[in-house]
Structure 1
Amino acid sequence: MATYDLGDGVPLEHEVRNVDQALTSATVTLGLTRPDGTTFPAPTVTSPSTGIYRATPIPDVTGTWAGVWSTSGAVVSVTPFAFTVGNPGPLAYTDVTTVKAAMGKTTADDRDDLIQQAISAASRWIDGRTGRRFYADTAATARTFLVSGRSACVGTDQVIYVDDIAALTGLAVATGTTGSYVTATGWEAGPDNALVYGRPLTEIRASAGWLPAYGRVQVTARWGFPSVPDQIVQAATLLAARFYRRKDSPNGVIGSADWGVIRVSRTDPDVEALIQPFVVPVIA
């Protein structure tokens, strides 16, 4: 069974053949059912050539989907099929080849599996240290934010601060209370030009008074960073190399022919300097 990432188009194709097994034209429709049993809106079916029918639906939930090609006219048939939709795992901010080059080791005797583990650990450490992640969701999902404590007045605008938003595509805003939201209009996302400079959107703003003082805002968006900044790639590479080398100093010390036993430092100042501009400030 084929597996696709959530938010990606699923390339589906169906052939219609007559009794002589020659491609032939017919009336073809495609039906899709979500994993929870609900019906997905009928996708558009195109025919690039005689007897070939295609559709590229974009699934909106994960799980195993059921589909059926229905053919009528010159040929009558029903062809069921299935596919799986998954949510991609967290992104690694560097790769094995880059880390090996940074260590000056490109031979086959290096343990690629251990390097990959170090890369994963370094990437998630950076997420935790900065308080954000540097990759974007593949599909828009809804999050709710309590207005109290997250909003401020800036000039004549009222602003609510939200999590990192990676793109304008799919962005929607609703206000109200849990279970009762009304689509909001007349708002803007900011800061201005954030996406142009590779930074995420973190504000939803409109004229003062559009937000209830103690209500909530529901924001549907692709959350995360638009793309991985160069500083984060470099920090992940340095940190992954450091983590990989720690296998040679499990007790926190490493031996040197010139300097004797040396204690491994707890932090890398270069890594800290690279990630510092991206740390989300915390107000106590």
Structure 2
Amino acid sequence: MATYDLGDGVPLEHEVRNADNVLTNATVAVVLNRPDGTTFPAPTITNPSTGIYRAVPVPDAVGTWIGAWSTSGAVTSVQPFSFAVGDPGPQDYAALPMVKAALGKTTADDRDDLIQQAITAASRLIDRRCGRRFYADKVATARTFPVCGQSAYAGVDQVILVDDIATLTGVTVETGTTGSYTAASGWEAGPDNAAVYGRPYTELRAGAGWLPATGRVRVTARWGWPTVPDEIAQACLLLAARFYRRKDSPQGVLGSAEWGVARVSRTDPDVEALIAPFVIPTIA
């Protein structure tokens, strides 16, 4: 299911084909229901070419939206669909046109939804595989980190490891315990030159004694990565194309008249190589 940011236009498209599978015009309508079940005002529908109908509603609520295209006249049909809205919505790391080009598909057809679903699935799998996400929050939010087990010394500096911070603009740091925090000063973010290399800040440093022996550090920031790395975008493209093609090998076996039958490998070594530098190491 595709996910969009709250307040952004959602590109909806519907094709009308007759019994001979030829694009044809008809009377078309679209109905949208909000996540709470209420009906959303009908968006304007355009007809840019024969049999192609488009609408771009702007959702006003977070959650799963349910809709349906209905066709009457020359063709009678009802086609349901759904999409999710977040604030922000999780970002996809590859664009639909690029994945379609990689698949050798250059025109719009009824498989676009399947390709978009594969892109979203690939993006979220990369997030889970790496233990992080590669897009930034729209607004700053607070997260807390325990001092014990999360901090260490690097020379004379005391360092606490934090989640990925996309930008230092608007960052605030406080120390204390739940319900009672005091603003901290004199801290620096690291690693050095993170912004120059397009990477996030993952640590806060200061002179010895900056952190208390116990308690927590509360950091308010825009979390995530400043931009999607090229390697992640390429990995998503490869993985999305792989996911889409799996519809042709539901049992994990792919056949060809030229080279016979082959089992689909469990992993793609190129995808693994692309994302490997971004995986957060864990201790079992």
TM-score (norm 2): 0.69
Partner of 1:271: 271
Amino acid at match of 1:245: R
Partner of 2:239: 239
Distance 2:104 2:116 in 1: 16
Partner of 2:229: 229
Distance 2:86 2:227 in 1: 21
* Residues 145, 218 of structure 1: 8 Å contact kept: yes
Amino acid at match of 2:101: A
Partner of 1:119: 119
Query: Would you say how many aligned residue pairs link Structure 1 and Structure 2?
Result: 205
Amino acid at match of 1:175: T
Distance 1:224 1:96 in 2: 23
CA RMSD of aligned residues (A): 1.7
Q: Which runs of 5+ in 2 are unaligned?
A: 1-5, 9-60, 63-84
- Report whether the alignment pairs 1:88 with 2:96: no
Amino acid at match of 1:205: R
Shift of residue 283 of structure 1?
2.4
For 1:1-284, list aligned pairs within 5 A: 4=7, 87-109=87-109, 111-284=111-284
Q: Which runs of 5+ in 1 are unaligned?
A: 6-61, 64-84
Partner of 1:17: none
TM-score (norm 1): 0.69
Distance 2:277 2:86 in 1: 33
Distance 1:108 1:251 in 2: 28
SS in structure 2 of the partner of residue 169 of structure 1: strand
Shift of residue 109 of structure 1?
4.1
Shift of residue 222 of structure 1?
0.2
* Residues 135, 224 of structure 1: 8 Å contact kept: yes
Shift of residue 268 of structure 1?
0.3
* Residues 4, 86 of structure 1: 8 Å contact kept: no
Distance 1:128 1:283 in 2: 16
SS in structure 1 of the partner of residue 170 of structure 2: coil
Shift of residue 235 of structure 1?
0.3
Distance 2:203 2:211 in 1: 13
Q: Deviations over 1:116-137 (max 9, x none)?
A: 0000000000000000000000
Partner of 2:42: none
Amino acid at match of 2:232: I
Distance 2:126 2:7 in 1: 28
Amino acid at match of 1:126: I
Q: Give the direction of change, closer, same or farther, for the CA distance of 1:86–1:263 in structure 2 (3 Å limit).
A: closer
Distance 1:254 1:248 in 2: 7
Q: Deviations over 1:186-224 (max 9, x none)?
A: 110111110111000000111111111221000000000
Shift of residue 107 of structure 1?
3.4
Q: Deviations over 1:215-249 (max 9, x none)?
A: 10000000000000000100000000000000111
SS in structure 1 of the partner of residue 218 of structure 2: strand
Amino acid at match of 1:196: V
| Segments of 4+ moved more than 4 angstroms | none
Shift of residue 258 of structure 1?
1.9
Q: Deviations over 1:31-75 (max 9, x none)?
A: xxxxxxxxxxxxxxxxxxxxxxxxxxxxxxx99xxxxxxxxxxxx
Distance 1:203 1:105 in 2: 44
Shift of residue 177 of structure 1?
0.5
Distance 2:96 2:141 in 1: 32
